[in-house]
Amino acid sequence: MNITEIFTRKNQILLRAMVGTDFKLRYQQSFLGYIWSVLKPLLLFTIMYLVFVRFLRFGADVPHFSVGLLLGIILWNFFNETTTGGMMSIVGHGDLLRKIHFSKYIVVIASSMGALINFGINFVVVIIFALLNGVRPRWSNFLIFPIVIELYVVSLGIAFFLSAVYVKLRDLNPIWEVLMQAGFYATPIIYPISMIASRAGQYGPILAKLDLMLNPMAQIIQDARHVLIAPENQTLWTWTSHAWVQWWPIVVSFLIFLGGLKYFTAKSRYFAELV
């Protein structure tokens, strides 16, 4: 056994311990406990459904849009929870960083794994709701797995970057909250991407494609709806035959991850001094 294997084993043990502890502490003083991990997105979905689907009739031309709305909410919640929790993870574990020598990225990954557990629980709820809503299983449903991997990669990359910046810039938290709120409405979650294409005049289709190309979350949510719920959900794969356009959002997601990881690695040597 070489020195690399020893550190790898230590990191794995520490990661499991941190994930278990963080998940247990999250709802420790709550009366409903872990049930809140399901209730929070369901309550948000209920409000959004009543306002935007029932009254404003968003997504009336898209089959099973209510299921798509719920799916979009849990995908965005995972992105929000991973980036926000990851941003504060290094500062929150300052005492541990000063006392124990270990790979700093474990702290951010542990935070993301807690969000991934919540996502898994909520995803089961989406599947049940989809079946009750009449969504028929298809072989293309299995394509949701690489889409979730892409979601995790881009979320973790941003979390790495934010956690390194937050060590020195504590004002980043309220700034990120505002950006997340703006991003929620700029992403086709409560409305279908077809609404942009049809209601933004002659430039509507171009704006819709740009949203999917420049906003990784827009592309991820639309692709997830397309493969899991209904092929009527439009994506870059259905809008264009140009391979570089179709693959561009995925390339951007992995570039975000690599950039965030590189920045985190460069700054991690100073974390113990600054927290």
CA atoms of 54 and 258, how far apart (whole Å): 42
What is the average pLDDT score of the chain?
83
Long-range pairs of 261-269 with CB within 8 A, sequence gap ≥ 24: 261/105, 261/157, 261/160, 263/160, 263/161, 263/164, 264/104, 264/105, 264/108, 264/160, 264/161, 264/163, 264/164, 265/105, 266/164, 267/164, 267/167, 268/104, 268/105, 268/164
| Per-residue pLDDT reduced to its tens digit, 77-86 | 999 999 999 9
Q: Extract the tokens encoding 126.
A: 């989406």
pLDDT number for residue 26: 66
Work out the number of other CB atoms within 10 angstroms of the CB of residue 59. Answer: 21
Confidence of residue 1 (pLDDT cuts 50, 70, 90): very low
> Which pLDDT tens digit goes with each residue over 89-121?
888 877 777 777 667 888 899 889 888 988 998
Residue 219's pLDDT is: 92
In contact, 161 and 264? CB cutoff 8 Å? yes
31-38 average pLDDT score: 63
- Tens of pLDDT along 54-67? 776 776 777 888 89
pTM for this predicted structure = 0.87
Residue 5's pLDDT band (boundaries 50, 70, 90)? very low
Residue 6 confidence (pLDDT): 41
- How far separated are the first and last CA of the chain, in Å rounded? 34
What single-letter amino acid sits at 73? I
Residues 236, 245: contact at Cβ < 8 Å?
A: yes
> Helices 172-186 and 65-92: crossing angle, nearest 10°?
170
Residue 252 confidence (pLDDT): 92
What pLDDT does 271 receive? 78
Q: What is the pLDDT of residue 275?
A: 64
d(CA 258, CA 209): 24
Decide: 215 and 207 in contact? Cβ < 8 Å: no
pLDDT higher than 60, residue 7: no
